[in-house]
């Protein structure tokens, strides 16, 4: 069993969800249920397994059910049908005190609009979660200081949120979420309100932190580039249904349907795809291999392309132990980077 298990979740909004649920189970889609029953399908039979330590991105257009899904993880909403398990524990079975303790100790949340307390300075915002847990002032300030420094805000401890830029406020949001050392970070469009360059910095910052912390991160975005950059795996939602779950490279190379394909059309494939995902696997070097070019299996296609253009021979792909793992034909790279539109 995975760390987080979401099993056959349906969420119907409206006064008589049970009737609409039967329609959904019978195969009716979101539009039909809205037209015939006046109910909104938030999620339609969604099942997902999220592993401990992975950055799991949920992507989809506005209204596809992303926020509804993440709100099931902290039980801000209960499903119409289905189950949510954390570490084998059914969170729907938790009573209110257990649920509150679960949220405080095991979850950290980062919101799109930062959600900082306006009358508290940076230090007291970051220390807030620990304060609620009853941690003494000295200990919580020591911990908050550590996290403020980690997100690059040392020196700003006594500033108030309205004295900070959006990017800095979200750094405070991130530090606050991390200060309680949660197992899981829930981030709903956390970077979507930021300017592009600041946003890109925050993505880099999150990846840097995650490389050390190995939290389980559930990150919501409507932006495919952000999803591809951050996600170990990506789930794509459409009209409350799960359309595809996969690693970034799988999503790009094997889109599940026309909807996903349309999403991936404008992606910089050379930046996302790596040698490993397009090579012809083999452990044999071709004859006269001394003269051939070699790349690492983790190298990105955009970095391999100049090498490919300089040779007419296949390129050897090696792993970090210097063993041959595959070959790449240069035409294959060009074909992948610039696919024929259809």
Ligand X SMILES: Nc1ncnc2c1ncn2[C@@H]1O[C@H](COP(=O)(O)OP(=O)(O)O)[C@@H](O)[C@H]1O
Q: Does the footprint of Mg ion cover residue 143 (CB under 5 A)? A: no
- Out of 55, 67, 216, 221, the only residue in the binding site for Mg ion (CB under 5 A) is 67
**Least distance in angstroms from the C-beta of 278 to Mg ion:** 34
The entry of Mg ion, ligand X, none that residue 108 binds, CB within 5 to 8 Å by partner kind: none
CA-atom Rg of the chain in angstroms: 23
Give the contacts of 193 (CB within 8 A, at least 6 positions apart): 112, 113, 166
Tell how strand 241-246 and strand 315-318 pair up: unpaired
**Least distance in angstroms from the C-beta of 264 to ligand X:** 18
- Out of 63, 115, 152, 270, the only residue in the binding site for ligand X (CB under 6 A) is 63
- Out of 33, 44, 55, 66, the only residue in the binding site for ligand X (CB under 6 A) is 66
**Least distance in angstroms from the C-beta of 341 to ligand X:** 28
The entry of ligand X, Mg ion, none that residue 64 binds, CB within 5 to 8 Å by partner kind: ligand X
The entry of Mg ion, ligand X, none that residue 42 binds, CB within 5 to 8 Å by partner kind: ligand X
What angle do helix axes 196-213 and 166-179 make, rounded to 10 degrees?
A: 20
Of 66-74, 198-206, 209-217, 240-248, the segment contacting Mg ion by CB under 5 A is: 66-74
Instruction: Report the residue number, 43 or 301, with the smaller CB distance to ligand X.
Output: 43
SS3 298: coil
Burial of 23 (0-12, 13-18, 19+ CB in 10 A): middle
**Least distance in angstroms from the C-beta of 39 to ligand X:** 9
CB contact at 8 A, 333 and 308: yes
Q: Does the footprint of ligand X cover residue 87 (CB under 6 A)? A: no
The entry of ligand X, Mg ion, none that residue 255 binds, CB within 5 to 8 Å by partner kind: none
The entry of ligand X, Mg ion, none that residue 340 binds, CB within 5 to 8 Å by partner kind: none
Of 16-24, 63-71, 120-128, 171-179, the segment contacting ligand X by CB under 6 A is: 63-71
Q: Does the footprint of ligand X cover residue 13 (CB under 6 A)? A: yes
Burial of 69 (0-12, 13-18, 19+ CB in 10 A): buried
Task: Tell me the C-alpha to C-alpha distance, in Å, between residue 146 and each of 123, 154, 172, 336.
Answer: 10, 9, 12, 45
Q: Does the footprint of ligand X cover residue 68 (CB under 6 A)? A: yes
- Out of 9, 10, 40, 171, the only residue in the binding site for ligand X (CB under 6 A) is 40
**Least distance in angstroms from the C-beta of 57 to ligand X:** 13
The residue among 111, 121, 116, 108 whose CA lies nearest residue 193 is 111
The entry of Mg ion, ligand X, none that residue 82 binds, CB within 5 to 8 Å by partner kind: none
Q: CA dihedral defined by 213, 203, 110, 232, rounded to 10 degrees?
A: -60
Rounded to 5°, the CA angle 339-341-342 comes to 125
Give the contacts of 341 (CB within 8 A, at least 6 positions apart): 265
Instruction: Report the residue number, 41 or 127, with the smaller CB distance to Mg ion.
Output: 41
Kindly list the residues in this chain that would bind ligand X in the complex (CB under 6 A).
Answer: 13, 40, 42, 60, 62-68
Can you give the binding site for Mg ion, defined by CB under 5 A?
66-67
């Amino acid at each position: 069993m995975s760390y987080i298990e979401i099993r056959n979740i349906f969420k119907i909004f409206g006064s008589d969800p049970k009737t609409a649920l039967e329609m959904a189970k019978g195969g009716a889609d979101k539009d039909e249920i809205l037209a015939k029953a006046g109910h909104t399908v938030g999620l339609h039979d969604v099942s997902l397994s999220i592993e401990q330590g992975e950055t799991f991105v949920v992507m989809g257009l506005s209204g596809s059910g992303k926020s509804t899904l993440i709100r099931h993880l902290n039980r801000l909403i209960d499903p119409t049908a289905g189950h949510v398990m954390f570490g084998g524990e059914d969170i729907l079975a938790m009573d209110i005190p257990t649920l509150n303790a679960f949220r405080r100790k095991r979850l950290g949340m980062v919101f799109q609009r930062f959600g900082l307390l306006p009358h508290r300075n940076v230090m007291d915002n970051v220390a807030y979660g620990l304060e609620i847990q009853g941690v003494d002032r000295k200990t919580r300030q020591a911990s908050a200081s550590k996290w403020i420094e980690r997100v690059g805000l040392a020196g700003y401890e006594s500033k108030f949120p309205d004295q900070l830029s959006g990017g800095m406020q979200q750094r405070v949001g991130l530090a606050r979420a991390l200060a309680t050392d949660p197992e899981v970070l829930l981030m709903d469009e956390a970077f979507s309100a930021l300017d592009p360059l600041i946003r890109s910095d925050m993505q880099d910052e999150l990846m840097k932190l995650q490389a050390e912390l190995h939290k389980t991160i559930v990150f919501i975005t409507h932006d495919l580039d952000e999803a591809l950059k951050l996600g170990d795996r990506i789930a794509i939602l459409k009209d409350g249904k799960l359309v595809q779950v996969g690693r970034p490279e799988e999503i790009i190379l094997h889109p599940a349907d026309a909807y996903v394909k349309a999403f991936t059309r404008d992606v910089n494939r050379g930046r996302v795809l790596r040698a490993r995902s397009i090579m012809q696997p083999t452990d044999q070097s071709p004859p006269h291999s001394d003269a051939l070019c070699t790349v690492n299996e983790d190298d990105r296609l955009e970095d391999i392309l100049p090498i490919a253009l300089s040779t007419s021979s296949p390129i050897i792909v090696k792993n970090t132990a210097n063993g041959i793992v595959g070959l790449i034909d240069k035409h294959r790279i060009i074909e992948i980077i610039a696919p024929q539109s259809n």
